[in-house]
Structure 1
Amino acid sequence: MTEQRVSVRLTQYAAGGGCACKIPPGELEEVVRGLGGQVAEDLVVGLDDGDDGAVVRVADGTAVISTADFFTPVVDDAYDFGRIVAANALSDVYAMGGRPVVAINLVGWPRSVLPLELLREVLRGGLDVAGLAGCPVAGGHSIDDPEPKYGMAVTGVVDPERLLRNDAALPGLPISLTKPIGVGVLNNRHKSTGEVFEHAVASMVALNDVASAAAVAAGARAATDVTGFGLLGHLFKLLRASGVGAVLDSAAVPVLDGAWQSLRDGYVSGGTRRNLDWVRPHLDVRGGSVDEDVLLMLADAQTSGGLLVVGGVPGAPVVGHTVAGPPRIALR
């Protein structure tokens, strides 16, 4: 990202930003309560456990993953915004151990306010990252919208016998995290001040393809990606779906440079605070090192974060382990 490329600050045209603009997890669960339980012969993963995508078996040894994701600008640069969105949308397929095969664009654009040339840059960024994933972008849908929004609906394929899902965690296994956290507070600072954090952009545009393949090769069966509900929120959802607990070593969780200072300077989104409010009843806090700032960082609303894998992933730090018992997170 360069100052020359940013003539319009996209983040100033939206109330929220990135995955922090998601409907809070508690409210969303109330909305969809009672809508699950669909029975279909070939439906492998549906709505019930809030997994990263729906999975339908289409032939012996082959299932289709279907997912969609969109959000408002998380950075000012249009091209980088497009790249981040594409990496984030593709991540749901990787989080389930799959390979993306086609994507379509989802666009909301204030055409009377922002030039269409900027939208072209957004789409170009999405196309470039999807190209890196070997995933063609074949059309899409657009509307005139008061806020700029961009996303993708992605279709992937996976062997249903090697599927990564959030209800398959077993006790006694390590928990690995494949990207550092902290992009939420850095993005919030960027929106407020215009400061640019190239390393945060680099983290967000990085695909989770290699991590996904490594997790599957290592025999992992349970995983999710870390996005708008934060590390604590996504870990709790996985534990609840699997019926196990976890111990999380907060000191082992990698954090992006500058994120701690940005948190202490007050650049904490409302989405992050709502994440922590939702998951707090399911936490057991141990030791004086886990203070409120640590909890906020662990709840930081991520955009295009890493994979959270139950099992060892070569090169990824181990941040805790699963345990037998109720779905609670013991922090140390």
Structure 2
Amino acid sequence: MSTVAPVRLTGYAHGGGCACKIPPGELEQIVQGLVTATSPDLLVGLDDGDDAAVVRIDDHEALVSTADFFTPVVDDAYDWGRIAAANALSDVYAMGGRPVVAVNLVGWPRDVLPMELLREVLRGGLDVSRLAGCHVGGGHSIDDPEPKYGMAVTGLVDPERLLRNDAAVAGLPISLTKPLGVGVLNNRHKSTGEVFPQAVASMVALNADAGRAAVDGGARAATDVTGFGLLGHLFKMARASGVSATIDAAAVPYLDGARDALRDGFVSGGTRRNLDWVRPHLASTAFEAELLLLADAQTSGGLLVVGEVPGAPVVGETTARGDAVITVR
């Protein structure tokens, strides 16, 4: 925990965590036309909005490159650092790889917030990176009116055991390795100051074991569930793979307190934009509240894997492409 005087870090940000992402529909319009033919050694690029870029080194090894940063999602500086690091590392695990080295990305209002708090943020990121066996080799910082923190991470992966979001096939189970609900709980925390240890514990947990289990189990398609919510990330994966998917809403796990936070109205604008983006491709008889939870903008969420992962609930299945890309039953 932080050893400096408490500061409501979330009060210095217009939003929180991955809920601050540019909406998926807007982002796709921005990058449209920027995909160009490149070397066949670029195994994963911009084409389908996967979790990281992958470049082949040789027949047995490829490099994974990603970057992720965001505004404070919790008030405790040390916890924010841990969450941001785990979130950035997750992109490498979502590709089936292992992180090797990271550099810090920092924006800090140096005339507003004490530098001791920034030290706590960096300490949190360093501690989680050490748990991951990932070196931290410095980074880059700017004076910024709004605090931001994250990491650029480089990892390695076997190109023959790569997880990607365009490799799903029909007729397989879909597993989810972390419960949903951190978005509504974080939004409640930002609004009221209430602390939710269960949300922090989920966000700082590494996806290393889940990624390794998915690869060892023969999975070929996966993504991590972050700012676009389960529905948004599943839609991207199904669309890229040319399949549809069915979600069993009753099988999806949620953190304690998530439904209460939803009931009390702590839904971010990012979550509502996620649902609006997916809705034209959605068939569902579920209540709107259930769909909002499935679209909840997560920070450092779990892996969504096409295949079974030991210990993780099966929340749906892939199906042949039909009229609806995503069906919620």
The TM-score, its normalising length taken from structure 1, stands at 0.97
Matched, 1:328 2:325: yes
Cα drift, residue 180 of structure 1: 0.2
Matched, 1:308 2:304: yes
**Cα distance in 1 between the residues matched to 2:30 and 2:98:** 30
**Cα distance in 1 between the residues matched to 2:55 and 2:201:** 33
**Cα distance in 1 between the residues matched to 2:107 and 2:205:** 24
Which one-letter code corresponds to 2:231 in the other structure?
L
- Given that residues 4 and 116 in structure 2 are in contact (C-alpha distance below 8 angstroms), is that contact kept between their aligned partners in structure 1? no
Cα drift, residue 309 of structure 1: 0.0
**Cα distance in 2 between the residues matched to 1:6 and 1:239:** 46
Cα drift, residue 5 of structure 1: 6.0
Which one-letter code corresponds to 1:324 in the other structure?
A
Which one-letter code corresponds to 2:140 in the other structure?
H
**Cα distance in 1 between the residues matched to 2:190 and 2:4:** 16
Residue aligning to 1:45 = 44
Provide, for residues 168-222 of structure 1, a one-character-per-residue CA deviation record: whole Å limited to 9, x for no partner: 0000000000000000000000000000000100000000000000000000000
Residue aligning to 2:217 = 218
Matched, 1:193 2:212: no
- Given that residues 61 and 159 in structure 2 are in contact (C-alpha distance below 8 angstroms), is that contact kept between their aligned partners in structure 1? yes
Cα drift, residue 123 of structure 1: 0.2
RMSD: 1.0
**Cα distance in 1 between the residues matched to 2:144 and 2:168:** 41
What SS does the aligned partner of 2:57 have? Answer: strand
* Percent of pairs with identical residues: 78
Residue aligning to 1:72 = 71
Residue aligning to 1:299 = 295
Cα drift, residue 164 of structure 1: 0.2
Matched residue count: 328
Residue aligning to 2:53 = 54
Cα drift, residue 41 of structure 1: 3.1
Unmatched 5+ residue regions in structure 1? none
Cα drift, residue 36 of structure 1: 1.0
- Given that residues 107 and 151 in structure 1 are in contact (C-alpha distance below 8 angstroms), is that contact kept between their aligned partners in structure 2? yes
What SS does the aligned partner of 2:185 have? Answer: helix
- Given that residues 38 and 46 in structure 1 are in contact (C-alpha distance below 8 angstroms), is that contact kept between their aligned partners in structure 2? no
The structure-2 alpha-carbon separation of the partners of 1:114 and 1:203, relative to structure 1 and needing over 3 Å to count, comes to same
- Given that residues 214 and 314 in structure 1 are in contact (C-alpha distance below 8 angstroms), is that contact kept between their aligned partners in structure 2? yes
- Given that residues 94 and 163 in structure 2 are in contact (C-alpha distance below 8 angstroms), is that contact kept between their aligned partners in structure 1? yes
Which one-letter code corresponds to 2:29 in the other structure?
E
**Cα distance in 2 between the residues matched to 1:190 and 1:119:** 20
**Cα distance in 1 between the residues matched to 2:36 and 2:234:** 23
